[in-house]
Amino acid sequence: MKIEGSWSAQWQPVVEAFAAHFNQGEQGAGVALYHRGELVLNIWAGECSNRLAGISGQPWEYDTLVNIFSAGKGLVALCALQLVAQGALDLNQPVAHYWPEFAQADKENITVRQVLCHRSGLSAFNQRIADDQIFNWEAMTAAVATETPWWSSNTEQGYSPFMYGWIIGELVRRVSGYDSFNACFQANVAQPLGVDCHFSVPDGLLNKIADTGPLKRLQDSAANRTGADSIALGKLMKADPRGVTNRAFSNPISLMTATNTRAWRQAQIPAANAHATAQAIAAIYNGLVQGTLLAPEFLQLCWQEQTFSQDRVLGLPLRFSHGFMLSQADRPDCRYGRGARAFGHPGAGGCIGFADPDYQIGFGYLTSQMGQGLLIDERAVHIIDAAYGVAGGKEYE
């Protein structure tokens, strides 16, 4: 497999780790890495298809976009934290302070901080959501406003796969004064960095998107190990069809089935439908490391632990700051860099971005072939390990 792009010679081990995956089921992917503020590696390889654009088996390019799913949650959190830094948003204020309609159904005391760290009790919709409703911002935020929490806020941790994005996204829209969440993100994150990352892909970029699909070949024992988490999640869903886990992912089912449609790509579903290049994700996390997107005195919010518990929705121990996942030393699939202050977020199937302020690393990995792990995919683990073999980082060895 020919690897395209550019990289400094010392980072050759990362290129080799990336290339090895194309003998193990990878179809098309990209990796980008900033170190000490410099883009030291930006590579891509393979091919992609886009059924809506009539494209099949075309070469992966530097500007190929991929749906990064939950890896976009960190970018949503960033927009909220920028408003905190501006003094426009207070983490300890109830969401209803900024969004009065949100106070319905016992939600009047849920704070912004509790939503960001998944302790709000709003992990899934109890009410039935129509399949096409997820493409309508006003309909979804109205549904959020009338929704009832699954448990009292701040009593338990429960990952919010989709609701999180509409809650934080609507807060950002209301507080920032922009017409939409994506408009705020573009103005304050993507455009200042000059990167392609969108929560509503414009018409002119629709043909740049790679369709996503399942990884057809498990790679090694690590794949079987991380796949076990996905199996366990499936059992949780089947065990209680009306429970929080089942409804978090299947109400409506279009949250799982519509991701290659035009409606999905052009809607704003902040928790799950960001489309980006690998370089864009790495650049955003590098911007955090370098202090260009968030003032240094507020950057600590990205790594300050807010909760670490057995998660009610995913059935795994998870550790969160304000909107970002944090490392767990005993889990290879949950190590965001090697520094004590590293933070990031994975997405379903394999995409990931993270920042490591201690090693001054901003990292992005994107793939169109979705693996089975719930956290950091084994392909990303392999590449990250290779990167720290160059950059150093002995904490988890």
Residue 10's CATH number: 3.40.710.10
Q: How far apart are CA 258 and CA 69, in angstroms?
A: 12
Facing residues of 197 across strands? 276
Task: Print the domain residue range for 320.
Answer: 4-75+186-391
pLDDT of residue 1: 85
Q: How far apart are CA 277 and CA 286, in angstroms?
A: 14
For the record, the structure tokens of 332 come out as 């290879």
Spatial neighbors of 342 by CB under 8 A, at least 6 apart, are 303, 326, 327, 335, 336, 354, 355, 356, 357, 358
The answer as to whether 172 is a domain residue is no
Q: How far apart are CA 219 and CA 298, in angstroms?
A: 40
The answer as to whether 263 is a domain residue is yes
**3-class SS letters over 243-258:** CHHHHHHHCCCHHHHC
Q: Write b or e for each residue in 347-375: b if 16 or more Cβ atoms lie within 10 A of its Cβ, otherwise e.
A: bbbbbbbbbbbbbbbbbbbbbbbbbbbbb
The number of domains in the chain is: 1
Neighbours of 132 (CB within 10 A): 13
360: left (phi over 0), alpha (psi -120 to 50) or beta: left
Spatial neighbors of 54 by CB under 8 A, at least 6 apart, are none
The answer as to whether 81 is a domain residue is no
The answer as to whether 203 is a domain residue is yes
Alpha-carbon distances, residue 68 vs 199, 271, 280 (angstroms): 10, 10, 11
Q: How far apart are CA 162 and CA 125, in angstroms?
A: 9
The answer as to whether 174 is a domain residue is no
pLDDT of residue 162: 97
343 and 336 Cβ atoms separated by less than 8 Å: yes
46 and 379 Cβ atoms separated by less than 8 Å: no
The answer as to whether 149 is a domain residue is no
- The values of phi and psi at residue 274, to 5°, are -65, 140
**3-class SS letters over the chain:** CCCEEEECHHHHHHHHHHHHHHHCCCCEEEEEEEECCEEEEEEEEEEEEEHHHCEEEEECCCCCEEECHHHHHHHHHHHHHHHHHCCCCCCCCEHHHHCHHHHCCCCCCCEHHHHHCCCCCCCCCCCCCCHHHHHCHHHHHHHHHHCCCCCCCCCCCCCCCCHHHHHHHHHHHHHHCCCCHHHHHHHHHHHHHCCCEECCCCHHHHHHECCCEECCCCCCHHHHHHHHHHHHHHHHHHHCCCCHHHHHHHCCCHHHHCCCCHHHHHCCCCCCCCEECHHHHHHHHHHHHCCCCCCHHHHHHHCCCCEEEECCCCCCEEEECCCCEECCCCCHHHCCCCCCCCEEEECCCCCEEEEECCCCEEEEEEECEECCCCCCCHHHHHHHHHHHHHHCCCCCC
pLDDT of residue 289: 98
Facing residues of 354 across strands? 344, 363
| Single pTM value for the model | 0.95
The answer as to whether 294 is a domain residue is yes
For the record, the structure tokens of 232 come out as 């366990």
Cis peptide before 161 (omega within 30 of 0): no
Q: How far apart are CA 368 and CA 44, in angstroms?
A: 12
146 and 104 Cβ atoms separated by less than 8 Å: yes
From the centroid of its chain, how far is CA 137? 19
The answer as to whether 147 is a domain residue is no
Counting as low any pLDDT under 50, the low residues of the chain are 218-225, 395-397
